[in-house]
Amino acid sequence: MECTLAALITCFNLSGLYVDSGLSWQDVGEPEFHQRAGVINHDWGAQTVLYRDVTIGPENPYGRISLGYEVEFRSFSWRVEASHISSIATNEDRGINSVSLSARWFPFGGRR
């Protein structure tokens, strides 16, 4: 275990590890589908009808938490990040989990 941890520290600079969080407000929410059944009685018998509703209202505000690792070079940087976004206003939102790989290029020099 100690050898594996030492190899990890040697290969990766731990100063690139970060935790990020924030709040956001959205103008449109995620679609939410509801379905219910109803029975309509006719003179000739009963008919079963399905009713479907779609709700797309936002549940603002949304909270975000991320854990990532970023490596910076002179004119570009790359990062890998795992994040979770969910509504703070309601407990019914299961949220969205994601993993991303991104690169940023500074064409006119760099940040330093």
In the chain, what are the domain boundaries?
27-105
Q: Using CA of residue 23, residue 83, residue 85, residue 77, what is the dihedral sign?
A: positive
What is the C-alpha to C-alpha distance for residues 19 and 37, in angstroms, rounded to an integer?
Answer: 46
Stated pTM of the model: 0.62
User: pLDDT tier at 34 (50, 70, 90 boundaries)?
Assistant: confident
What is the C-alpha to C-alpha distance for residues 91 and 27, in angstroms, rounded to an integer?
Answer: 19
What is the C-alpha to C-alpha distance for residues 69 and 99, in angstroms, rounded to an integer?
Answer: 12
Smallest CA-to-CA distance from 34 within 7, 50, 52 is with: 52
CB 105 within 8 A of CB 97: no
Q: What is the pLDDT of residue 1?
A: 53
User: Which tens digit of pLDDT belongs to each residue from 43-83?
Assistant: 888 887 877 777 667 788 889 999 999 998 888 899 999 99
